[in-house]
Amino acid sequence: MTRAPAIVLSVVVALGASLATSCSRKPASAAALKPTAFGAAIVESSGGKQIAQTGGLLPQPVIVQVNDEQGTAVTGALVDFSGPAGVSFDPASALTDSSGQVTTNVSLGGMAGRYKVTASTIDKAHKTVEITLDEIALGYSQTLGRQLNEQYCERCHNPESTVERVSNYDNLEVKPHPFTEGDTYNKISDADLTAIISHGGPALNKSALMPAWGNTLSKSEIQALISYIRAVSDPPIRNAGPVYAKN
């Protein structure tokens, strides 16, 4: 009977020692990555100018490529990803693969606006070489506008067809402007956009092929649609919203 506490105590001590050892041991993924090669440039392969909800994961990963002075892909170069507060990367650092590329999944912050995320590498002189990509986070109103766009607008304003939607763009004599055309939409005031959406193109001497949506969409829905247009226009209008950078 007197041996039981000693046995229990020894088990607790052994368990504590085991936990302490396991906690102090860093996982392999946390170990510092060491490059085996260095590039001269880093370029975007894909993933820039994507749209997600605030706090959400971008629909496609961000892929960057490291090249040498001749433009040849470099294997084994270290790439680090960084961004403003609230943005996360998986992984945040990695070595380029045999194609010279690194892929990461990006989650945006909790505030609506444009996020500038950076991918950087080190050249042979140990100088930082980087590229910055713009990503867009939509708030509640802009997300509603995006849904309205998909329901009512995309079929004509987007020239690309998808499995879910066949574009009518090529069938129109007067081609509508995609909502990403900032050079066009930045010249149109919110009041004029409201008039065009509500009363159709002829309200401002635009194409009669643009129908009136004032009896379909409420005033708040029209404003949500305009806020979405402002969010995705490229280049953005000056008052489109905040831009979040790492500094």
- % of the chain surpassing 70 pLDDT: 87
**Residue 145: both structure tokens together:** 């506008």
Buried b (16+ CB within 10 A) or exposed e, 212-235: bbbeebeeebbbbbbbbbbbbbbe
**230 phi and psi angles, rounded to 5 deg:** -65, -35
What CA–CA distances, in Å, run from 31 to 28, 80, 166, 216, 226?
5, 14, 49, 57, 47
CATH number of 41-138: 2.60.40.10
The model's pTM is: 0.81
User: What are 61-108's pLDDT values in tens digits?
Assistant: 999 999 999 999 999 999 999 999 999 999 999 999 999 999 999 999
The CATH number of domain 140-239, selected from 1.25.40.10, 1.10.760.10, 3.40.50.720, 2.170.270.10: 1.10.760.10
User: In which band, very low, low, confident or very high, does the pLDDT at 4 lie, cut at 50, 70 and 90?
Assistant: very low
Which residue intervals of the chain bear CATH 1.10.760.10? 140-239
* β partners of residue 127: none
pLDDT at residue 31, as a whole number: 60
